[in-house]
Structure 1
C-alpha cells in the first residue's frame, strides 16, 4: 500500500485471468488508486465484494509438513529420522499479478 500511496505501483489488471469476474477487476483498480479518497474502505465495501465471490477462491490448506528435529541421522538412536522426509506442503498454482513499480 505504501507504493500505491506514493503513486509508484501500477497493477496491470489486463493481465488478470480470463475467468476473473469484472467486479474483482474493478475492486483491484479501486484499491490501487493513487488518491486515497478514491480507494474503498475494507468494511463494508471490500468485504462485501469479496464475500460474493467466496466460492471461486480456492480454500487454503494448512501445511502437513512435520518438523525434523534430528539434524544428523547418526544421532538418531531409535531410527525416527527415517519417518521425516520432504514436507508435504501442497504446491501453489496461483498466478501472481505483474505489477509495475516506478
Structure 2
C-alpha cells in the first residue's frame, strides 16, 4: 500500500493561483437546461441581464442580443425574471447534436 501524503503536503483546494483565469473555463458545459431566447417576445427590459449570475446575457446598447452558452450554467434565473416569458428553459439533451 502506498504511503498517504501528510496534511501539509496536500495542495490547498479552491485556491485561485493566477488572476483572471475564470474566462478560460467553459462553465457552460455544466448545464442541464438551456435558456432559449425568443426575440419576438422580448421588450429589452434587461431583467435577464441584471439578474444573470454568470454575465451570460449578451446585450448591446441595452438591447438583448442573445445568450453566451460558453458561460451560461442553465440556472434559469433569466427565464424566471423575464416578464414576457421570452426565455424558455429546455433540456440540454435536445441540443446534444447541434453546434452552439
Q: TM-score range by the shorter chain?
A: under 0.3
TM-score, normalised to structure 1, is 0.20
Greater gyration radius: 1
TM-score, normalised to structure 2, is 0.20
More strand by share: 2
Larger RCO (CA under 8 A, 6+ residues apart): 1
More helix by share: 1
